[in-house]
Amino acid sequence: MIVLVGLNHKTASLSVREKLFAGCEGKTNLLGELSAIDGVLEILHLSTCNRVELVAAAEDAPQVLAALRSFLVRSGNLTEREAAACLYGYRDEEAIRHLFRVASSLDSLVMGEAQILGQVKEAFRQALAGNFTGIALNRLMHRAFRTAKRVRTETGIAANPVSVSFAAVELAKKIFGTLAGKKVLVIGAGEMAELTLTHLIGNGAEEITVANRTVLQASALAEKYHGNAVGLANLTEALSDADIVISSTGAPEYIVTAEMVRQCLRKRKNRLLFLIDIAVPRDIDPAADDISNVYLYNIDNLQDIVDENIKNRHREALKAEQIVEEEVAQYSKWLKELKVVPTIVSLRNKAESIVRMEMIKAQGWMAKFENGDREKVEALVNGIVNKILHAPVVVMKEESSEFNSQDIVAAVRQLFRLDD
């Protein structure tokens, strides 16, 4: 049986997630402790800024679910109230479905983001390296990776930007077709500016300048992305040289005034200038949009793009959910059949053992057989045995479609005395 226990950004506040993250990460032998829990056959631990989850193959689902929940409560020093509100537990198909949705980014804070799949793969790599996984979790994780790949290639869930900084870069790409060879000026050196730079580099931008009130901060950020740095005192000159300007500071007043834009246009010989303002409050004087050859986009323009793209992702998510259901059904079928495999193997082994014993007893009178007759008898006997075994094997496989197939397995083992 597969079980899953955890919490995420939907069920727990950041402070609770931090407590549990720190509690689990502080353990030097986390997977070793988890694998020692009674009933845990295989174990995996997934931990990100948005979730902490334990996935296990278990003998007794209710018992292991309770034990894993207690482990997380202790590790995060959670109150019972926090645990009741934040922790969830799934078993069998619900657990499988949840994991596949997580790997496919359907359960992410930003649906369609690619980072979560790498984090799931890393969690599996660590568990595999420590020999904490086996046939059930190995197959489960590879099926999860397959599901995520199908969702990414067969749907458009990751096709459109859903963050303002990414939307700004996508807008610049749409305007110019490519960012290669274009000069980009980023105003600001904070988190949003750095995120914008990451997207710019990822989309082919090469000539980047970072402008900031504190030149030291601008230099540190520019160096990180192999760009140049200038202070705000040299902003007009930097504007004159840029093809695209993306501004994101925390300034209370306009950083780029309409007069600065007019001055830089004279130096540019009226070459088109694209300004993208993603700051709140705004960095660029709205009056700049009234100047010829200047195109100004603000955060509201970008938010409209983001909102539409979120709607598109949710539409694509319906297709993704169908893929998840297909993959859940495939893995569940395999897992259920896996439970009867040992009994089927034992049944065949016993039958083959009886055949061998009887053939040995018959060696005396079979010695008179002509060439090829012995093989014909052996083939006949094996054929009869296979026909006799066919019905119980088929019934066991059919019954394995239900998770409670222990009764039929027990009956077969008793009927054929497989445990003697």
Residues annotated as catalytic (active site), given as ranges: 49
Residues found in the chain: 420
The CA–CA distances, whole Å, from 401 to 111, 142, 295, 330, 340 equal 33, 22, 62, 11, 11
Question: Which residue blocks in 211-340 are alpha helix, DSSP H?
Answer: 215-224, 235-241, 258-268, 299-338
CB-count exposure of residue 125 (10 Å: 0-12, 13-18, 19+): exposed
Angle at the Cα of 73 (from 67 to 79), degrees rounded to 5?
135
Token digits of residue 318: 């319906």
Judging by DSSP bridges, how do beta strands 88-91 and 2-8 pair with one another? antiparallel
Token digits of residue 108: 């992410």
CB atoms within 10 A of CB 380: 10
Tell me the C-alpha distance between 16 and 79, whole Å.
10
Tell me the C-alpha distance between 113 and 208, whole Å.
25
CB 109 within 8 A of CB 56: no
Tell me the C-alpha distance between 157 and 116, whole Å.
14
Judging by DSSP bridges, how do beta strands 244-247 and 228-231 pair with one another? unpaired
User: What is the DSSP secondary-structure string of 195-220?
Assistant: HHHHHHHHTT--EEEEEESSHHHHHH
Token digits of residue 23: 């509690």
Residue 10 phi/psi, 5° resolution?
-80, -30
Residue 353 phi/psi, 5° resolution?
-65, -45
Tell me the C-alpha distance between 42 and 21, whole Å.
21
Judging by DSSP bridges, how do beta strands 2-8 and 51-58 pair with one another? antiparallel
Tally DSSP H helices, then E strands, for the chain.
17, 10
Question: Which residue blocks in 269-416 are alpha helix, DSSP H?
Answer: 299-338, 341-361, 363-366, 373-399, 406-415
Please give the distance of CA 91 from its chain centroid, rounded to a whole number: 19
